[in-house]
Amino acid sequence: MDKRISSSEEAEVRKGPWTMEEDLILVNYISNHGEGVWNNIARSAGLKRTGKSCRLRWLNYLRPDVRRGNITQEEQQLIMELHERWGNRWSKIARQLPGRTDNEIKNFWRTRVQKKLKHGECLMMNNLMLMDDEASTSALQVNAAGDVNGGGQPVCNGDMVGGDLQHGDGMTSDDFSTESNDNFWSVEDFWLLN
Protein backbone atom coordinates (compact mmCIF):
# COMPACT_ATOMS: atom_id res chain seq x y z
CA MET A 1 0.00 0.00 0.00
CA ASP A 2 1.11 3.52 -0.65
CA LYS A 3 1.07 5.07 2.77
CA ARG A 4 1.71 8.54 1.45
CA ILE A 5 -1.41 8.50 -0.62
CA SER A 6 -3.63 6.74 1.85
CA SER A 7 -2.69 8.98 4.73
CA SER A 8 -3.16 12.18 2.77
CA GLU A 9 -6.41 10.90 1.37
CA GLU A 10 -7.58 9.85 4.77
CA ALA A 11 -6.99 13.34 6.05
CA GLU A 12 -9.17 14.62 3.23
CA VAL A 13 -12.11 12.33 3.84
CA ARG A 14 -14.88 13.78 5.94
CA LYS A 15 -17.01 11.60 8.16
CA GLY A 16 -20.00 12.11 10.38
CA PRO A 17 -23.18 14.10 9.88
CA TRP A 18 -23.67 15.92 6.61
CA THR A 19 -23.83 19.68 6.62
CA MET A 20 -26.39 21.65 4.68
CA GLU A 21 -23.68 22.89 2.35
CA GLU A 22 -22.61 19.37 1.53
CA ASP A 23 -26.18 18.36 0.90
CA LEU A 24 -26.67 21.30 -1.40
CA ILE A 25 -23.54 20.51 -3.33
CA LEU A 26 -24.56 16.91 -3.79
CA VAL A 27 -28.12 17.71 -4.76
CA ASN A 28 -26.99 20.38 -7.20
CA TYR A 29 -24.42 18.12 -8.74
CA ILE A 30 -26.79 15.23 -9.21
CA SER A 31 -29.58 17.38 -10.53
CA ASN A 32 -27.16 18.81 -13.09
CA HIS A 33 -25.25 15.69 -14.02
CA GLY A 34 -27.43 12.85 -12.88
CA GLU A 35 -26.33 9.83 -10.93
CA GLY A 36 -23.20 8.07 -12.01
CA VAL A 37 -20.10 6.58 -10.50
CA TRP A 38 -20.31 7.67 -6.90
CA ASN A 39 -16.59 8.05 -6.36
CA ASN A 40 -16.47 10.36 -9.36
CA ILE A 41 -19.45 12.30 -8.11
CA ALA A 42 -17.82 12.80 -4.75
CA ARG A 43 -14.61 13.95 -6.38
CA SER A 44 -16.10 16.05 -9.14
CA ALA A 45 -18.56 17.77 -6.85
CA GLY A 46 -15.69 18.69 -4.59
CA LEU A 47 -17.07 16.79 -1.64
CA LYS A 48 -14.59 15.40 0.81
CA ARG A 49 -16.70 12.31 1.20
CA THR A 50 -16.40 8.78 -0.04
CA GLY A 51 -18.59 7.73 -2.90
CA LYS A 52 -20.19 5.31 -0.55
CA SER A 53 -21.13 8.05 1.84
CA CYS A 54 -22.56 10.18 -0.97
CA ARG A 55 -24.61 7.32 -2.27
CA LEU A 56 -26.02 6.58 1.16
CA ARG A 57 -26.85 10.20 1.81
CA TRP A 58 -28.57 10.52 -1.55
CA LEU A 59 -30.53 7.30 -1.31
CA ASN A 60 -31.58 7.65 2.28
CA TYR A 61 -32.18 11.34 2.55
CA LEU A 62 -31.74 13.60 -0.44
CA ARG A 63 -33.59 11.77 -3.19
CA PRO A 64 -36.68 13.78 -4.14
CA ASP A 65 -38.95 10.77 -3.94
CA VAL A 66 -37.85 9.70 -0.49
CA ARG A 67 -40.73 9.67 1.97
CA ARG A 68 -40.02 10.66 5.51
CA GLY A 69 -42.11 10.45 8.62
CA ASN A 70 -44.16 7.80 10.29
CA ILE A 71 -44.63 4.41 8.82
CA THR A 72 -48.33 3.97 8.18
CA GLN A 73 -50.35 1.07 9.42
CA GLU A 74 -50.56 -0.35 5.91
CA GLU A 75 -46.82 -0.09 5.55
CA GLN A 76 -46.27 -1.78 8.89
CA GLN A 77 -48.53 -4.58 7.82
CA LEU A 78 -46.70 -4.93 4.57
CA ILE A 79 -43.33 -4.90 6.27
CA MET A 80 -44.49 -7.64 8.59
CA GLU A 81 -45.70 -9.76 5.71
CA LEU A 82 -42.65 -9.21 3.57
CA HIS A 83 -40.27 -9.82 6.42
CA GLU A 84 -42.06 -13.02 7.16
CA ARG A 85 -41.57 -14.01 3.56
CA TRP A 86 -38.06 -12.74 2.87
CA GLY A 87 -36.42 -12.24 6.24
CA ASN A 88 -33.89 -9.43 6.59
CA ARG A 89 -33.86 -8.58 2.90
CA TRP A 90 -34.36 -4.93 3.66
CA SER A 91 -33.63 -3.58 0.24
CA LYS A 92 -36.01 -6.06 -1.30
CA ILE A 93 -38.68 -5.10 1.19
CA ALA A 94 -37.98 -1.42 0.65
CA ARG A 95 -38.64 -1.79 -3.07
CA GLN A 96 -42.18 -2.81 -2.24
CA LEU A 97 -42.66 0.38 -0.24
CA PRO A 98 -42.26 3.34 -2.58
CA GLY A 99 -40.28 6.16 -1.06
CA ARG A 100 -39.09 4.13 1.88
CA THR A 101 -35.44 3.24 2.24
CA ASP A 102 -33.95 0.00 3.38
CA ASN A 103 -32.25 1.86 6.19
CA GLU A 104 -35.54 3.27 7.39
CA ILE A 105 -37.27 -0.07 7.30
CA LYS A 106 -34.33 -1.74 8.99
CA ASN A 107 -34.34 0.85 11.74
CA PHE A 108 -38.07 0.59 12.09
CA TRP A 109 -37.86 -3.15 12.42
CA ARG A 110 -34.99 -3.14 14.86
CA THR A 111 -36.21 -0.41 17.13
CA ARG A 112 -39.90 -1.09 17.22
CA VAL A 113 -40.95 -4.43 15.86
CA GLN A 114 -38.08 -6.41 17.28
CA LYS A 115 -38.56 -4.91 20.70
CA LYS A 116 -42.24 -5.59 20.61
CA LEU A 117 -41.47 -9.11 19.58
CA LYS A 118 -38.98 -9.46 22.37
CA HIS A 119 -41.54 -8.19 24.77
CA GLY A 120 -44.03 -10.61 23.31
CA GLU A 121 -41.54 -13.40 23.62
CA CYS A 122 -40.91 -12.56 27.25
CA LEU A 123 -44.57 -12.61 28.01
CA MET A 124 -44.86 -15.83 26.11
CA MET A 125 -41.89 -17.33 27.89
CA ASN A 126 -43.30 -16.41 31.23
CA ASN A 127 -46.53 -18.10 30.34
CA LEU A 128 -44.78 -21.14 29.02
CA MET A 129 -42.47 -21.36 31.98
CA LEU A 130 -45.46 -21.45 34.16
CA MET A 131 -46.70 -24.35 32.12
CA ASP A 132 -43.57 -26.34 31.51
CA ASP A 133 -39.87 -25.62 31.60
CA GLU A 134 -38.88 -27.83 28.69
CA ALA A 135 -41.73 -26.76 26.54
CA SER A 136 -40.83 -23.15 27.03
CA THR A 137 -37.38 -23.49 25.50
CA SER A 138 -38.54 -25.32 22.42
CA ALA A 139 -41.43 -22.97 21.93
CA LEU A 140 -39.11 -20.04 22.22
CA GLN A 141 -36.79 -21.45 19.61
CA VAL A 142 -39.60 -21.86 17.19
CA ASN A 143 -40.75 -18.36 17.87
CA ALA A 144 -37.34 -16.85 17.47
CA ALA A 145 -36.63 -18.76 14.31
CA GLY A 146 -39.96 -18.00 12.79
CA ASP A 147 -39.60 -14.35 13.71
CA VAL A 148 -43.02 -12.84 13.24
CA ASN A 149 -44.75 -16.12 12.75
CA GLY A 150 -47.37 -17.46 15.01
CA GLY A 151 -47.22 -15.96 18.43
CA GLY A 152 -45.12 -13.01 17.41
CA GLN A 153 -47.36 -11.31 14.98
CA PRO A 154 -50.53 -10.79 16.91
CA VAL A 155 -48.64 -9.49 19.89
CA CYS A 156 -46.67 -7.22 17.68
CA ASN A 157 -49.54 -5.92 15.65
CA GLY A 158 -51.77 -5.34 18.55
CA ASP A 159 -49.07 -3.61 20.43
CA MET A 160 -48.10 -1.47 17.54
CA VAL A 161 -51.59 -0.33 16.91
CA GLY A 162 -51.91 0.60 20.51
CA GLY A 163 -48.53 2.23 20.75
CA ASP A 164 -46.92 3.58 17.66
CA LEU A 165 -49.93 4.00 15.55
CA GLN A 166 -51.74 6.31 17.80
CA HIS A 167 -48.67 8.41 17.19
CA GLY A 168 -48.59 7.76 13.54
CA ASP A 169 -52.23 8.31 12.82
CA GLY A 170 -52.48 11.50 14.71
CA MET A 171 -49.24 12.93 13.53
CA THR A 172 -49.02 12.17 9.87
CA SER A 173 -48.65 15.56 8.27
CA ASP A 174 -47.80 17.32 11.47
CA ASP A 175 -45.06 14.90 12.19
CA PHE A 176 -43.65 15.22 8.73
CA SER A 177 -42.85 18.80 9.41
CA THR A 178 -41.42 18.23 12.84
CA GLU A 179 -39.57 15.18 11.63
CA SER A 180 -37.22 17.23 9.56
CA ASN A 181 -36.52 19.87 12.13
CA ASP A 182 -33.50 20.54 14.36
CA ASN A 183 -30.22 20.36 12.52
CA PHE A 184 -31.86 18.69 9.61
CA TRP A 185 -33.81 20.46 6.97
CA SER A 186 -36.71 19.47 4.87
CA VAL A 187 -35.66 17.86 1.62
CA GLU A 188 -38.42 19.77 -0.08
CA ASP A 189 -36.52 22.90 0.85
CA PHE A 190 -33.65 21.63 -1.18
CA TRP A 191 -35.68 21.03 -4.23
CA LEU A 192 -37.29 24.41 -3.81
CA LEU A 193 -33.86 25.96 -3.50
CA ASN A 194 -32.85 24.23 -6.66
Using CB under 7 A as the criterion, which residues of the chain lie in contact with DNA when the complex forms? 14-18, 36-40, 49, 51-53, 55-57, 60-61, 68, 88-92, 102-104, 106-108, 110-112, 115, 164, 182-184
CB closer to DNA out of 31 and 119: 119
Q: How far is the CB of 151 from DNA (least distance, A)?
A: 20
* DSSP conformation letters of 44-96: HTT-SS-HHHHHHHIIIII-TT---SPPPHHHHHHHHHHHHHHSS-HHHHHHT
CB of 158 to DNA, least distance (A): 16
Cβ 128 to DNA, closest distance in Å?
23
- How far is Cα 72 from Cα 79, in angstroms, rounded to an integer? 10
Cα(68)–Cα(84) distance, rounded to whole angstroms? Answer: 24
Nearest approach, Cβ of 183 to DNA (angstroms)?
7
Comparing CB distances to DNA, the nearer of 1 and 192 is 1
Kindly tell me which of 94 and 139 has the beta carbon lying closer to DNA: 94
